[in-house]
Structures are given as structure tokens and as C-alpha cells.
């Protein structure tokens, strides 16, 4: 469980590095006292991600909501970490292939 929590913290740290605008709010949400706000927000984000076919809502809401919920629900930490890591690997492979394809066309 400690390993899962540490990995989860690294996921949040990476998000804060990649999207500096989010660092203030994510730091606030990660505090232990923000649990009363974090859980409802996580549920709303998951629901918004499920209904991403509607305007304004997006699939980006689903992983962020699951990350927030995993901070408080230990049984979600392992599966969320695994899903996020796999998704990030696939994303980087896709981006690399896209970049290589563009470089080949130039």
C-alpha cells in the first residue's frame, strides 16, 4: 500500500510539472484536510469523463477523477496506478511514432 501511494504521489508530481498552472490547486487538493472536497470532485470528474460525448465534458476528466479518488480509497490505488502508467506509455509511443512520421515526410 505504501508503494502504491508513493507511485500515486509521483503521478501527481508529474502532472504538476507538465501543467504548471495546475500545481496550486492540485497541491491544495492533495492536503489531508481537503478530503471533504476531493471525493465529491473526483466523483463529478469521473461522471463527466463517462459522459465525454457531451459538449464541454471530456475524457480527460476520467483519469483525473480516478486519481483524486485513489488518494482516499486505497483499493483504487493499484489499478489506477497501473492504468495511468500504461496510458502514459501508450501516449509516449503514439507521440514518438507521430513525430517520426512527420520527420520522415519533411
Q: How far apart are CA 36 and CA 49, in angstroms?
A: 21
Domain boundaries, the chain: 2-105
Residue 105 has pLDDT above 70, yes or no: no
Residue 42 has pLDDT above 90, yes or no: yes
46 membership: H or E segment, kind and range: helix 35-50
Q: What is the mean pLDDT of the chain?
A: 87
Greatest extent of the chain over all pairs of C-alpha atoms, in Å: 53
Q: How far apart are CA 19 and CA 100, in angstroms?
A: 25
Mean pLDDT for the stretch of residues 5-10: 87
Collect contacts of 90-97 with beta carbons under 8 A, ≥24 apart.
none
Residue 35's closest CA among 71, 74, 82? Answer: 71
Q: What are 83-103's pLDDT values in tens digits?
A: 988 988 898 899 899 888 888
Given pLDDT bands bounded at 50, 70 and 90, which one contains residue 43? very high
The reported pTM is 0.75
Residue 24: per-residue pLDDT: 87
Amino acid at each position: 500500500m505504501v508503494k502504491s501511494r508513493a507511485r500515486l504521489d509521483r503521478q501527481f508530481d508529474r502532472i504538476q510539472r507538465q501543467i504548471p498552472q495546475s500545481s496550486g490547486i492540485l497541491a491544495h487538493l492533495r492536503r489531508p484536510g481537503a478530503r471533504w472536497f476531493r471525493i465529491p470532485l473526483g466523483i463529478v470528474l469521473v461522471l463527466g469523463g463517462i459522459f465525454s460525448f457531451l459538449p464541454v465534458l471530456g475524457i480527460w476528466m476520467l483519469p483525473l477523477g480516478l486519481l483524486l479518488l485513489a488518494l482516499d480509497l486505497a483499493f483504487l490505488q493499484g489499478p489506477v496506478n497501473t492504468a495511468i502508467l500504461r496510458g502514459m506509455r501508450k501516449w509516449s509511443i503514439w507521440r514518438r511514432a507521430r513525430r517520426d512520421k512527420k520527420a520522415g515526410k519533411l
